[in-house]
Every structure is written in structure tokens, then in C-alpha cells.
Structure 1
Amino acid sequence: MEQIKMWFDENPIVYSIFKYLLIVAAVLIAVQFLRKALKRNIPNTAIRYKSQKGIEILGYFVIIILSISYFTGNIKDFTVAIGLFSAGLAFTLQELILSIVGSLYIFIVKVYTPGDRIEINGIKGDVIDVDSIYTTMMEIGQWVDSDNYSGRIVKLSNAFVFKGPIYNYSQDFPFIWDQFDLPIRYGSDMELAKSIIVKIASETLSEYTKASKMQWEDIVKKYYIEDAQVEPTLAIALTDNWAQFNLRYIVDYKRRRSIKHLLNYSIFKAIEQTNGKVVLASSTLEIIKIPQLKVDVNKE
């Protein structure tokens, strides 16, 4: 011990660094201890999660304050050395530092929270965790059609919040507009077809129309945006082969696939019950006239 003490006395800079690392380690151990204590004693998942994240952020804040106080108040000759060290460390760990800053930005600005469905850096999924470095998502899409989980859990650096757009499907307005086309054969009762589609859409989507209308009023008050029509709308376009009915409607962002299935099935069954007054079209080839062929079997 005496030799170690003498060695530290002969190398004050090393002693200062060692002492600083011990302080940082003590703070990190205290943070982990408090996180585990909160995990054991708080039964509510949401409150426990937010409390743990709050303790983690507080720990980083304490380390920053202690570092500033330690290096500016107790070390004089070490200022230049620590400046060069910090610059090199910042350059080497710039992605890590940006990720930590990104986590603070996410929590303060509330860019997204666990439970939100987002798309960032070309990856779409539901946010299941946000820590000091990574955002963890349950991936949606890729080789799976529509908005179904692929089964992969994706960890994405928080630094990406500064590098590109973030699409949030659920924040402020948890509804999206969707649409699909219905080809109706020429000669069908167009008014009957229109009434069938609008009636089924209005009945199926009445719950979402009412809820989205209330939330859209809050969006208009909060942002500089014009009012929008949330009721189902139908547009008709004439093509070479059929009359194309385009149904546009609003739906909960988590029920896009199931509602589209329900609308298609209900409309299909209703059209079948019209006894041929309305017929769905398909790509066909119509032969107008077959040329006559004359074959002379007697001719040599």
C-alpha cells in the first residue's frame, strides 16, 4: 500500500484520473442499484419504465456536473491534457455521444414514446423501448405484406433522430387514410354500385369517423393545417376496360389490414346479392369477328 501511495504521489495526473474513474463508477453503480430497486417495488409497467429512464438520465446529468466540477476546481496543470483527451474522445465516440444526446432529445421533445408506431431510416415498426443509446422496435413489413410483424426486433441508434425524417403513425393523430380500387363492369347499375359501397363503408367505419373527427379538431388547433374530410369518399374514373371505383377512408393505424379485408368482403357479398345488376370486372379479351377461311381440298 505504501508503494502504491508513493507511486500515486509521484504521478499526480494518474492519481487524478484514477480518482475520477472511481467517482464515475460509484455514480453508475448507484444508478443501477436504484433502477433495480424501482423494478422490484413499482408494479405499474408505465410508471416503472419512466422512473427507470428518469434515474438513468439523472445519473448522466450528475456525471456531467461532477466532471465539470472535478476538472475545473481541483486540477490546474491537467487542463490542457484533459482538453486534448476530451477532443480525441469526442471524435472517436461521436456516434455514441450523438446517440446519448438523441435519447435526451427524444424524451424532452417527445419525438416518439414506447408504444408508438414509427418509420425511421427506412425501418417501420412499433417502439418497444428507448434507452440512452438505442431505440428498440418490433419490425413491421419487409417480407410480410401489410402492417404485420415480421418477428424481428430491431435496435436503432438514437443518433438517427438528427439524420432524417421520422414518420409517426400514432402521435397526436392515431389514424391514417387508406384506399383501394373496385373495378365495375360497364353496363352495371352504377348508382346501385355507388350506394352499396358508400353504405357499407359508412356503417363499417362510423366508429373511426367519429373518433378521428374529434382528434382532427385538436390537430387543427395545434398545428397550421387546414381542415380535412374524414368521412369515406368515393371517386369514379373511366378506363378502357371498366369503371374504377376508388374508395378512400380513415382507419385506426393498427387495424388497416383487418378493416380493408372487412370492407372488401362485405362489398363483394352485397354485389353478389344484386342478381347481376352490378358485376365486378376483370381483364378480358373480346374477339369481335373471326375471319372466314376457305379451304379447297380438291386443288392439287
Structure 2
Amino acid sequence: MKSIELIRQWMLEHPTSSSLIKYLIWVIFIVMIIQFLRKIIRKNLPDSTTRYKSQKGIEIIGYLLLIFLSISYFTGNIKDFALAIGLLTAGITITLQELILSIAGSIFIFFVKVYKPGDRIEINGIKGDVIDVDTIYTTMMEIGEWVSSDNYSGRIVKLSNAFVFRGPVYNYSKDFPFIWDEFDLPIRYGSDLELAKKIVIQVASEELSKYVKASISKWKDVVDKYYIEDAEVNPTLAITMNDNWIQFNLRYIVDYKKRRYTKHVLNELIGAEIEKTNGKVVLASTTVEIVKIPNLNILKADETHKA
């Protein structure tokens, strides 16, 4: 009892210190509650999407409680909120500019829906799949760099949310989760061009039919939502003749995550069909082909002299 009385008396004699201690106790208590609830959610929610959103929701509620608590303690009255925020902003705007922009960026990303976890984006020259968005950073699993095509490099990149205000954000999956891709096929002059065209279009149409069907309704939604012209989602073929061969350019639509694999399958199937033509269609190359060796007359030195 005596110790309690001493503590009470000390608190009465030092109101500022006691108020600060109470504030720190409340902060620690709220942080512990947040961590405890996050741990329960992580263990009891099997679905990763629901688990992620629930954890983020608890974090936001915790931040709001801490802000409300801080305003109550340091202003003494919730009505002084605008004044407190104004004074705080005036003092730290320059020193914490990047942090403020990052927080503003996170709010912008959330409300405007620039991107979300699971989207594939390119921002500030970095391409990857978004795996987390918090109040300051966007975390991405990087794609590309020293790895060819759309494969993961293995690096996890943390990027400031402030970058959404500093340049374009390329989203591969928002609204329309398909992209157009293309590749060239060199066909030798003298090949059966009609047969070659038939092979390329038939293989592409059969292999890509699932993407074409899925993309039609999605593209219609994009056309209705934005000021954009309608586009062809079926495979198309363009032919160009140059000095060495006839170039077939195949353009097609594909799932944004399956670009590399789809290109591999198309090349493999088209190559197999061309082999079945028994020489009617031949792929060209830059290899030098010697058609005929001219006859060479080599004379000895004495024969040259006689001649």
C-alpha cells in the first residue's frame, strides 16, 4: 500500500512525466493487441487473400487508434486537431518529404486502385509481381534483369509508394489481363506461301482459342470503360519480303503470365507442321549455301610459259 501511495504521490507531483508514461503504456498495449490479432488471423484463416486483407485492416485500425491517442495526449483536446496537424506539418514537411509522399502514395494506390497485390506492374524501370503494399513501400518479386523473358530473377524489391507520382505505372493485369505478343518466321523464297500461311494461322488459332474466348468479354469492358478503339484479338499474320527471305510476322493475344511458354509452344508446333510438308515450306536462315563450285583450271609454271 505504501509503495502505491508513493507512486500516486509522484504522479501528482510530476504530471507531465506521468502523462508520458501513461501514453507509452497505451502505445505498447495497442501494438501488442495488433500483433496478437495478426497472429490469430495468420493461424486461423486458410485463404491467403482474406488473411492478407484482414491483417492490413487490423494494421490500419491500430494506426488510427495511435493517431487518436497521440492527438488526445499532446493537444489535450480533440478540437485542436487541425491546429496540431498544421503545426506538425509546418515543422516536418521538408525533413520528411519522402515519407509524406509515400504515405500519400499508399492512399492514392488504395483509393484509385492503381494496383493491388497479385498484379504484375512496371514502375520506375522495375518490373515484377506485387506481393505487398503497405503505408510506405510496395514490395515486388522482380522479373527480368539478367533473366530472359518474364521469369523471376529471385530478388525481392521494395519501392517507395511515392514513385506513383513521379512517372507512369504499367499494369499488365488491371482491367485486361492479356497482352499482345508477336514473333517472326523467315520463310525461304520458292516455298508454298499459301500452305505456309494456312499452317501458321491454323496452329495459332487452335492453340490460342482459349485466350481469344476469354479476352473478348474483357476487351469489351475496356472499350466501354475507356475512350479506345476496338482491337482484333484473333491471331493475325503480316508478310514482308526482304532480300533474304519472306518474313511472316504472327501477332496474337496471350495471358500476361504465359507469354514465354506460349511462344515456345507455337514455335514448336509450327516447326513440326512445316517439317511435315516435305520441303514445300522451308524455313530460311542466314547460313551461306554454296550451290555450285566453279571449275578451276590450274596450270603448272612451265605450261604457262609454253602457252
| TM-score, structure 2 normalization | 0.84
Picking from 132, 144, 162, the partner of 2:147 is 144
Per the alignment, residue 121 of structure 2 pairs with 118
| 1:23-59 Cα shifts (integer Å, max 9, x gaps) | 4443333322222232233232211111110111122
Per the alignment, residue 109 of structure 2 pairs with 106
Per the alignment, residue 301 of structure 2 pairs with 297
Mapped to 2, the partners of 1:43 and 1:112 lie a distance apart of: 24
Give the deviation of 1:261 after TM superposition.
0.6
Mapped to 1, the partners of 2:105 and 2:253 lie a distance apart of: 33
Mapped to 2, the partners of 1:51 and 1:222 lie a distance apart of: 30
Q: 1:21 to 1:162 in 2, by over 3 A?
A: farther
| 1:74-128 Cα shifts (integer Å, max 9, x gaps) | 499xx99997665444433332333233223222222212211111121111122
Q: 1:129 to 1:173 in 2, by over 3 A?
A: same
Q: 116-125 or 92-101, which moves further after superposition?
A: 92-101
Please say if residues 117 and 132 of structure 2, whose CA atoms lie closer than 8 Å, have aligned partners that are also in contact.
yes
Picking from 202, 207, 210, the partner of 2:205 is 202
Mapped to 2, the partners of 1:35 and 1:250 lie a distance apart of: 41
| 1:190-213 Cα shifts (integer Å, max 9, x gaps) | 111111101111111011011101
Q: 1:22 to 1:161 in 2, by over 3 A?
A: farther
Picking from 8, 14, 34, the partner of 1:8 is 14
Q: 1:24 to 1:95 in 2, by over 3 A?
A: farther
Mapped to 2, the partners of 1:72 and 1:294 lie a distance apart of: 107
Alignment-mate amino acid for residue 213 of structure 2: K
Give the deviation of 1:164 after TM superposition.
1.8
Mapped to 2, the partners of 1:43 and 1:87 lie a distance apart of: 45
Picking from 97, 101, 104, the partner of 2:100 is 97
Mapped to 2, the partners of 1:280 and 1:6 lie a distance apart of: 93
| 1:149-188 Cα shifts (integer Å, max 9, x gaps) | 1122222222222222111111111100000000011111
1:278 and 2:284 correspond:
no
Alignment-mate amino acid for residue 192 of structure 2: D
Per the alignment, residue 262 of structure 2 pairs with 259
Identity %: 66
Q: Secondary structure at the match of 1:151?
A: strand
Mapped to 1, the partners of 2:9 and 2:76 lie a distance apart of: 28
1:163-242 paired onto structure 2 within 5 Å: 163-242=166-245
| 1:202-254 Cα shifts (integer Å, max 9, x gaps) | 11101101110111011111112111100000000111111100000000011
Q: 1:173 to 1:81 in 2, by over 3 A?
A: closer
Please say if residues 176 and 219 of structure 2, whose CA atoms lie closer than 8 Å, have aligned partners that are also in contact.
yes
Per the alignment, residue 32 of structure 1 pairs with 35
Q: 123-132 or 202-211, which moves further after superposition?
A: 123-132
| 1:250-299 Cα shifts (integer Å, max 9, x gaps) | 00011111110111011111111111111111114467996977756134
Please say if residues 71 and 77 of structure 2, whose CA atoms lie closer than 8 Å, have aligned partners that are also in contact.
no
Give the deviation of 1:15 after TM superposition.
5.8
Per the alignment, residue 132 of structure 1 pairs with 135
Q: Secondary structure at the match of 1:237?
A: strand
Mapped to 2, the partners of 1:255 and 1:28 lie a distance apart of: 42
Q: Secondary structure at the match of 1:234?
A: strand
Alignment-mate amino acid for residue 259 of structure 1: T
Mapped to 2, the partners of 1:273 and 1:217 lie a distance apart of: 39
1:56 and 2:59 correspond:
yes
Please say if residues 126 and 142 of structure 2, whose CA atoms lie closer than 8 Å, have aligned partners that are also in contact.
yes
- Structure 1: stretches of 5+ with no match in the other structure: none
Alignment-mate amino acid for residue 160 of structure 1: F
Q: 81-90 or 23-32, which moves further after superposition?
A: 81-90
Alignment-mate amino acid for residue 112 of structure 1: Y
Alignment: residue pair count = 296
| TM-score, structure 1 normalization | 0.86
